[in-house]
Structure formats: C-alpha cells, structure tokens
C-alpha cells in the first residue's frame, strides 16, 4: 500500500470515529494529558502532575528546577534561568528538548515540530497553572516523537466566577516578576460567555559580568540579562442548547530580548570567576517573538461520548546574533578550540589582543498549523468495559533560515575598529517544510482489577527543502511513513495499590534534509514495570524499572550539539535502563501534630550507554564523535536525587529543596580532558576543544518562606542556591558555563473574588 492510499483510508476512519464516539467524564474543553494528581496514579505508566501550588511553592520560574522534582527527567542547564530548556527523559538526547513532545494545553508548541523540533521556544513555566509529564505508558496518542516523553504546560484557565490574581516579586540582580490576570463567566439568554485577560512579565540584569571595554562601533553592547513579556487572552462560549458543547479561543504572545551568548569561559577562569563573560560576547543578543492561536470546539452528546476539535496556528521568529569564531590575524578557529588552547585566540576573545570576532546573524522564522480531531467512546463488550480513543491530525510546519556572517575587527584593547558585512542570506537562505498526517487508536479494556491498553499510531510525513542560494532555487522532496504501537497495563492490587507497566515502540523522524537523503528514522523499544501505593496514613510511593533500546539514535550534528542542527547523525545502538523512586508523606498532618511536615523524594538511577562504536567518527561538530562501545551518553548522569522538606503552621510555611546531580561526561569520548574527536572519518584526530571534559556534580539547596496576611493575600521570600555553590552546569554550546548563583526574591501573592 502506498502512502496516498494509506492516507485515504486512515482519514475517513478517524473522522468517523470522532463523529461517533466519546469520553467518559471528560470535561468540555479539556486541555490536559493527565488531568489531576489522582489521574496520574491510574495510568498504565509513570507520570507526574504539578498543580499551581506545586509550581509556586519554591517560587520557580525555571522549568529545569521544576522538572528535577520528577524521577527519570534530566535537564542540561544553559543560561541559569531556563530560557532554553534541554530536557532528557530516561536517557533520550537532551539537545534543545528535540526528543520530547512539548505542548501547551495539548497543542504542539515546538516552533516546527516536524521540520525543526529544536525548542528555542518553550512555554514559560512561571505563568502556568499546571504541568504534566508523561514518561511511560503507551504514548501512541502523542507524537511525532514517541520515545522521549511528553511535557504539557497548562495555561491559566478561565475561572468559574469573577476572579483576579496578582503575583509580584523583586530580587537580586534587578529581577522583577509580575503575573496578573482577571476573568469571569457571564450568563445570557444565548448561553454562558467567559473571558480571561493575563499579563506575565519578567526581567533581570543577569548574574554575569562582561569583561573589557565597550565598543562604539557596531550594535549597542548589551548586558547579560533579559526581558520577557507575555499577554494572553481567552474567550469562551457555552451555548444554551440541549447539546453539551463549548467553543473556546486562545490567543497568546511571547516576546523575549536576552543578552545571551554561546560563548563560555576557560576552566581556569571559571575557577577564579565563574560569572565572567569575555569582551567578544558583548554584542550577543537573541530576540524572539512567538504568537499562538487555538480555536477549540468540544461536545459531549452523552455521558459516554465526547468530541474535541482543535484548529491551531503558531508563529515563531528569532534572531540570535552571536559570536561563532575568532581570528588572531593568522588563523581563525572555533570558540571551543580557542578556550581549550588558551593562546592568542583567547587573548582576542578577552579583548586583550588585536584580531577578528566572527559573528553570525542567525535569523529564522517558523510556523506550525493544523487541525486535530479526537474522540472517545465508553462501551461494554460482554463483561469487559472499554474506552476507545481515536484521533487524527493534519499538520504542516516550516522553518526559513535567512542568515549572514559579520566580522568585527578589534584592536589590542578590544575596541572595534571596523565591521565587515556579508549580504543578507549569504550564509543560509533555505526553507524546510513538513506536512504530516497522524492518526492513533487506543482502547483501554477493564477486566476486573486489570486494565489493558493497546494502541497504534501512524505517521505520514512529506518534506520539501528549498535552497535559494544558487542562481535558481534548488528543490528536493522526500517522505517517511511509520506505524508504531504499544501495550500498557494497570492492575489494582488493593485500594490505593497497583502494579503497572508496558512495552511500546518509539519513533523519531529524521530532519527533512536527512530524510530526503535517505537517513533512517530513529526507532526504539521501551519497557517499564512499576508499582505504586498509598496507605491510609497518606504515605505515597512509586517504584519503576525502565529500559530502552535505541536501534538508531539520532543526535544533532552541529557545533555545540545544541539542537539547532540542519542535519542529524546516527550514533547507532544505545541502551538505557534504570530505576525511579518517588515518595511523599506528611507525618505531621497524619499523626495529628500541631505542624504539618510535608516530605517528598524523587530519585533516579540511569545507565545510558552506546552499544556499538559510534557511527559518528571524525566529526568535530559533534560531541558524539568517537564514542566507543560501552561509553556513557553525554549529559546523562547516573544519579539524581531531589528531597523536599517543609514545616507548615496555620498561617506560615517553610520549604527546603535539596538537589544532588551526579557528575557526567560532556562528550561520548568520556574523557576528563578538554578534547573532542575531529579530523574526518578517514583520519580522525583528537583536537583541543572546551566542549569536552566533565560536568560537575551539583548540590543545590533552595529555601522558601511564606506567610498568609489574610485569606486572600500572602507574602513570600525565596532563596535559590542557598549555599552559593559554583559548578560547571554545561560545556555547551561553547565551553564551561555556570549554574545560577545564590539569589533572593521576595514578593506578594493576592487573589481577588
């Protein structure tokens, strides 16, 4: 059967299913993957649900800090604020979260999920009402990548009655955070109308210090901070009809202006001043704009039948103007090499010698749009209770690269003497587009205490690449089709205790260029087996064993391996396995003490190894170059433990979170030295590069105090990195960079009814 025939058959089947089936207990306009903490305990797999209280307890705006409270989730810090998340679930490659399905309110939110999934945009955790993480179970309902897991951000919902909310705080390094929203539902003769207006704002001067003089020639020399502003509008209408139905429109916008850089510093300079930035990065700046519109229609004709249809569009534009190489008058080298060699090129980066700073204007525009139809039906088949879920999505997205290189000539004091422009689009002038049809079918069968959930997913992808750099546009096309599936189970032992697990096949498509060239998709097989229990005294525990075999792990093939790659490289076979443990308990409340004493633990052990000599050999752009059989995957530490302990009185509370993350290797060479395997496949050579080496272990403590002034007003104070620990959080994109230092934040939170 060819692709056209398969599309023809699948689409009417899925459309019929959406017109004829429903979902028990589904609330109209449901935007959740899990729905609640209780629902997370009933899945045939491991998952986590964070509500608004969880997100604000420690004052976190950084998604990296939040996710580390979930077993099995690793993150690679980059900027100290979580602006550019690098998320890995159970050993999947963390580069720019490109192996994780990122959603907001159940809608794909990567700039171009098929054509360019690297998440230079990720929803802002600080404005969310909830967060859902799905690591296991059958993930056939979500794609296109079905191995790395799901992170679904839940935005502020329209309130049930007139409500206002304010959260405002100020802190170290000139930081300000503000979130304010107001909403209501209004009854009328034609139905109920709802609205929500929200504004989120955050800015800071940054915690790093720029070295050297500021140049007057060139763009304005920035600082090291950022400014983000995000308005949001939601409108809904629930008609006064016999049919239970609802229409909701969401429009949101996000603007970021950040003086962020790819350039790190040398390890020796890091030991002296971890928060230093070299003069050559003074013009580095990224500006992004993202806007999203979602029109959702939901209907529930009966208690066992519901529909959900979404029409969505996202637009994302970003321009990261950043230094990419350095010349000393004789040779030009990459930034990682300059940092590792610590010679004349490093002096130029520091503004202490004459030379050239090579910049790139990384200007890109993205869009994604589509229509998605989902439905479910509760039905009885003999003695077996069933819930059938089906869905189909027609999607297209695109990335347009229009980039150029610029050179700054500097004197021995680091002052710019002249600037050389290349024509716009001369470095890159391409469009990559993907069109995809996806369909899934999943059926949960309840047989007494046992629930079995088999499912299947189909992805049909067409790619088109247009290169405008020649005299005539060069156009190439290709396609990929894949069928994946899984089986999960949930067995209730007693009230509050259950076994769960499953096996499922993972799929991750190649980039358009690689797919057109014939690169195979990434395939994997994952298993998990776990148990969870909740005692009458409120002690909740979950223990999970997991394993994944990647047949063809695809990783970014680019400088810094940061997920911005045009192409992907195949490492080959990779094996990951491990164990996760989560616990929560409040002995104070359960034993009748005067104080509440909430405790929580999230611990993960992961072994992630290359199972063959890496297929990436002699590629100086890839941190996976030269990995041998048995080598640890970069940036996947063996152990991670998060412990939270609190004290709660009638009006006050204290909460302390301690995080330990084991050390890891920065490249697949697994060396402590700052080297990477360069040369070429026929003559690989070990070369100096600061992207190589080790990533420090981390032990970070955060502390929060809160006091309720009244029923609706509270004040709070946060201390992040209480012990002011300095550690190398990452060697990507270009050399050692620190985690955030000790910072303070204090503010007020108010609800108005």
Residues 564 and 555: beta-carbon distance below 8 Å? no
**Above 70 in pLDDT, residue 563?**
no
**Above 90 in pLDDT, residue 683?**
no
- Going by pLDDT thresholds of 50, 70 and 90, the confidence category of residue 286 is very high
What is the tens place of the pLDDT at every residue in 224-274?
999 999 999 999 999 999 999 999 999 999 999 999 999 999 999 999 999
Residues 325 and 255: beta-carbon distance below 8 Å? no
Quick one: pLDDT at residue 29?
Answer: 59
Of 695, 698, 697, 688, whose CA–CA distance to 730 is shortest?
Answer: 695
List C-alpha distances in Å: 237 to 12, 240, 596, 713: 29, 9, 42, 31
**Above 50 in pLDDT, residue 7?**
no
Q: What is the 3-state secondary structure (H, E, C) of 586-652?
A: CHHHHCCCCCECCEEEEEEEEEEEECCCCCCCCCCCCCCCCCCCCCECCCCCCEEEEEEEEEECCCE
pTM score of the predicted model: 0.94
Residues 573 and 550: beta-carbon distance below 8 Å? yes
**Above 60 in pLDDT, residue 22?**
no
Residues 351 and 278: beta-carbon distance below 8 Å? yes
What is the average pLDDT across 422-449?
A: 96
* Separation between Cα atoms, residue 85 and residue 79, nearest integer Å: 9
Of 342, 226, 247, whose CA–CA distance to 296 is shortest?
Answer: 247
- What tokens does 447 get? 């047989």
What is the tens place of the pLDDT at every residue in 145-201?
888 899 999 999 999 999 999 999 999 999 999 999 999 999 999 999 999 999 999
The answer, yes or no, to whether the previous bond of 528 is cis (omega within 30 of 0) is no
Residue 350, SS3 per DSSP: coil
Quick one: pLDDT at residue 240?
Answer: 95
Quick one: pLDDT at residue 93?
Answer: 79
Quick one: pLDDT at residue 219?
Answer: 72
* Separation between Cα atoms, residue 302 and residue 21, nearest integer Å: 10
**Above 90 in pLDDT, residue 597?**
yes
What is the tens place of the pLDDT at every residue in 82-140?
999 999 999 887 788 888 999 999 999 999 999 998 878 899 999 999 999 998 765 78
Share of the chain above pLDDT 90, in %: 79
- Going by pLDDT thresholds of 50, 70 and 90, the confidence category of residue 557 is low
- Burial classification of residue 739, based on how many CB atoms lie within 10 Å of its CB (0-12 exposed, 13-18 middle, 19 or more buried): buried
Residues 355 and 327: beta-carbon distance below 8 Å? yes
Say how many C-beta atoms besides its own lie within 10 A of residue 51's C-beta: 15
Residue 725, SS3 per DSSP: coil
Q: What is the mean pLDDT of the chain?
A: 91
- Sign of the Cα torsion 725, 728, 734, 735 reads positive
* Separation between Cα atoms, residue 329 and residue 579, nearest integer Å: 53
Residues 180 and 198: beta-carbon distance below 8 Å? yes
What is the tens place of the pLDDT at every residue in 697-744?
999 999 999 999 999 999 999 999 999 999 999 999 999 999 999 999
Domains of the chain with bracketed CATH: 3-752 (2.40.170.20)
* Separation between Cα atoms, residue 741 and residue 725, nearest integer Å: 7
**Above 50 in pLDDT, residue 6?**
no
The answer, yes or no, to whether the previous bond of 144 is cis (omega within 30 of 0) is yes
């Amino acid at each position: 059967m060819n692709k056209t025939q398969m599309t023809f058959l699948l689409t009417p089947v899925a459309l019929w299913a959406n017109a004829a089936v429903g979902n028990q207990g589904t609330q109209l306009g449901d935007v959740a993957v899990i729905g609640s903490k209780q629902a997370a305990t009933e899945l045939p797999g491991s998952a986590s649900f964070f509500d608004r209280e969880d997100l604000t307890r420690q004052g976190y705006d950084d998604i990296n800090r939040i996710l580390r409270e979930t077993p099995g989730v690793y993150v690679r810090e980059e900027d100290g604020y979580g602006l550019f998340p690098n998320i890995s679930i159970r050993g999947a490659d963390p580069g720019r979260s490109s192996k994780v399905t990122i959603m907001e309110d159940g809608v794909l939110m990567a700039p171009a999920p098929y054509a360019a999934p690297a998440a230079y945009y990720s929803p802002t955790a600080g404005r969310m009402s909830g967060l859902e993480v799905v690591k296991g179970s059958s993930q056939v309902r979500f794609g296109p990548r079905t191995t790395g897991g799901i992170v679904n951000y839940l935005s502020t919902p329209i309130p049930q009655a007139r409500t206002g909310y304010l959260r405002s705080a100020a802190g170290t390094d000139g930081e300000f955070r503000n979130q304010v929203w107001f909403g209501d539902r209004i009854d009328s003769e034609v139905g109920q109308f709802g609205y929500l207006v929200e504004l989120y704002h955050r800015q800071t001067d940054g915690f790093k210090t720029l070295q050297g003089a500021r140049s007057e020639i060139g763009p304005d020399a920035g600082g090291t901070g950022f400014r983000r502003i995000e308005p949001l509008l939601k409108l809904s209408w629930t008609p006064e009809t016999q049919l239970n139905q609802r229409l909701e429109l969401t429009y949101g916008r996000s603007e970021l202006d950040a003086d962020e850089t790819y350039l790190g510093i040398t390890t020796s300079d890091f030991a002296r001043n971890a928060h230093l930035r070299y003069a050559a990065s003074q013009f580095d700046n990224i500006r992004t704009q993202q806007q999203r519109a979602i029109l959702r229609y939901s209907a529930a004709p009966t208690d066992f039948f519901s529909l959900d249809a979404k029409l969505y569009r996202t637009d994302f534009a970003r321009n990261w103007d950043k230094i990419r190489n350095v010349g000393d008058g004789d040779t030009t080298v990459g930034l990682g090499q300059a940092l590792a060699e610590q010679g004349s090129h490093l002096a130029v980066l520091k503004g202490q010698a004459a030379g050239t700073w090579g910049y790139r204007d990384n200007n890109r525009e993205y869009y994604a749009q589509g229509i998605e139809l989902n439905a479910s039906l509760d039905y009885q088949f003999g003695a077996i209770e069933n819930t059938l879920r089906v869905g189909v999505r027609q999607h297209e997205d695109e990335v347009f690269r229009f980039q150029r290189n610029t050179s700054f000539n500097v004197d021995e004091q680091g002052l710019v003497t002249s600037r050389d422009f290349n024509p716009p689009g001369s470095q890159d002038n391409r469009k990559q587009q993907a069109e995809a049809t996806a369909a899934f079918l999943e059926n949960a069968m309840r047989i007494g205490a046992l629930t079995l959930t088999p499912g299947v997913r189909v992805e049909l992808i067409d790619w088109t690449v247009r290169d405008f750099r020649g005299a005539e546009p060069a156009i190439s096309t290709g396609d990929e089709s894949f069928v994946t599936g899984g089986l999960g189970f949930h067995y209730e032992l007693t009230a509050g205790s259950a076994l769960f697990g499953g096996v499922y096949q993972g799929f991750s498509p190649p980039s358009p260029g690689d797919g057109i060239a014939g690169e195979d998709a990434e395939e994997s097989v994952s298993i998990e087996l776990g148990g969870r229990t909740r005692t009458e005294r409120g002690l909740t525990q979950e223990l999970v064993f997991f394993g994944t075999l990647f047949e063809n792990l695809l990783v970014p093939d680019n400088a810094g391996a940061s997920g911005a790659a045009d192409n992907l490289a195949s490492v080959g076979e990779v094996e990951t396995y491990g164990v996760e443990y989560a616990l929560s308990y409040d002995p104070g409340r359960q034993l009748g003490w005067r104080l509440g004493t909430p405790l929580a633990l999230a611990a993960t052990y992961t072994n992630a190894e290359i199972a063959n000599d890496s297929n990436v050999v002699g590629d100086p752009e890839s941190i996976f170059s030269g990995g041998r059989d048995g080598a640890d995957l970069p940036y996947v530490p063996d152990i991670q433990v998060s412990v939270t302990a609190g004290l709660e009185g009638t009006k006050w509370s204290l909460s302390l979170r301690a995080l330990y993350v084991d050390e890891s290797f920065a490249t697949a060479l697994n060396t402590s030295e700052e080297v990477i395997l360069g040369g070429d496949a026929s003559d690989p050579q070990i070369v100096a590069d600061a992207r190589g080496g080790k990533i420090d272990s981390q032990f970070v403590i955060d502390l929060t105090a809160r006091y309720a002034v009244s029923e609706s007003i509270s004040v709070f104070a946060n201390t992040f990195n209480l012990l002011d620990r300095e550690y190398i959080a990452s060697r990507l994109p270009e050399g050692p960079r620190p985690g955030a230092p000790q910072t303070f934040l204090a503010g007020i939170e108010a609800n108005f009814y």
